[in-house]
Amino acid sequence: MPFNQKPQKFNANINTVEIGCGDKAIKLGGENTFPFYTFDAPMENAPKVGVEISDMGIANIPGIQNYYAGATTMAEIAKKAEAVEGADFVCLRLEGGDPNGADKSVDELIAIVKEVGDAVTCPLVVEGCKNVEKDAELLPKVAEVLQGKNALVLSAREENYKAVGAAAGLAYNQKVGAESAVDINLAKQLNVVMTQLGVKAQDIVMNVGSAAVGYGFEYVVSTMDRIKGAALSQNDNMLQMPIITTVADESWSVKEAMASEEDMPEWGSLEERGISMEVQTAAAVLASGSDAVILKHPQSVATISKMIKELM
């Protein structure tokens, strides 16, 4: 019997969200198939890859240090990040703002955001410091200083969505990330309250949370899978926002990517381990339904963007 292909058609789409301005603007989402099911229907927009840089400077990894060699100011670092092979956007992470860490002031961080915003021409994503109170203060200022750049501000969370959503989504016309912790209902609830606040569904990108592969990753797969399922097969428009995943953050903070070579000689090169964790995690979240990933190592960025091209 001949094989009869029966495409799985959905009468619903993931929203298309544009980030950035001009030629380099990118579109996230838009698909009406499961991830990379190009045999069902063409994927509207290829998933996008971003390069993470931090206000805390260049990570102490030889390959990353080499790549950014010579860049001293945040503007120079950002320009280099923008030029990474396969990069679609730059993500500035303001981890130094964490009150339990470097606790940099909002003014200091905003100066960095401005410097980076002026330096790059590619779309910009800015990630807060993850402390909900500090982010509630910091991210509205980020949205303000980036007026006109159509940036994506990460993230509004349940505790601070009003401040972040109102500033980024309403007052300063940016795109807003909605972050929840690997739970379809919390993701949906946040989207509901954000839209009730007045933020347009088309201005929201979800960060539904992640883990490095091997660290309870099945929860991530199941959450993303169910979100895409509900969005497409049940036409649930409170789950049709594209998904962005901060992979660098998760994959470089697990023991495989941190244990030193002295402690774990049998594990081999630390850098290779980190890249491996980053590439595996990124590939897995993309296959589970993420529309964009944020990575740190130039080699990971190149690898994943090549993977996407070949799968499209």
Q: Which residues form the interface with other proteins (CB under 8 A)?
A: 136, 140, 144, 162-163, 165-167, 170-172, 182-186, 189, 192-193, 196-198, 200, 219, 222, 226, 229-230, 233-234
Q: How far is the CB of 34 from other proteins (least distance, A)?
A: 14
Tokens of 31: 């698909």
The closest of 131, 129, 135, 167 to 151, measured between CA atoms, is: 167
Q: Which is nearer to other proteins, 18 or 236 (CB)?
A: 236
Angle formed at CA 201 by CA 195 and CA 204, multiple of 5 degrees: 100
Q: Which is nearer to other proteins, 171 or 312 (CB)?
A: 171
Amino acid at 166: A
Q: How far is the CB of 106 from other proteins (least distance, A)?
A: 14
Q: Which is nearer to other proteins, 74 or 154 (CB)?
A: 154
Q: How far is the CB of 223 from other proteins (least distance, A)?
A: 8
Q: How far is the CB of 158 from other proteins (least distance, A)?
A: 11
Q: How far is the CB of 171 from other proteins (least distance, A)?
A: 4
* Long-range contacts of 193-196, Cβ-Cβ distance < 8 Å, separation of 24 or more: 193/161, 194/156, 194/161, 194/165, 194/169, 195/238
Q: How far is the CB of 280 from other proteins (least distance, A)?
A: 24
Q: DSSP string of 73-110?
A: SHHHHHHHHHTSTT--EEEEE-GGG-TTTT---HHHHH
59: how many CB neighbours lie within 10 A of its CB? Answer: 17
The closest of 58, 123, 117, 128 to 87, measured between CA atoms, is: 123
Q: Which is nearer to other proteins, 13 or 121 (CB)?
A: 13
Tokens of 43: 């994927």
Q: Which is nearer to other proteins, 162 or 255 (CB)?
A: 162
Q: Which is nearer to other proteins, 58 or 238 (CB)?
A: 238
Amino acid at 282: A
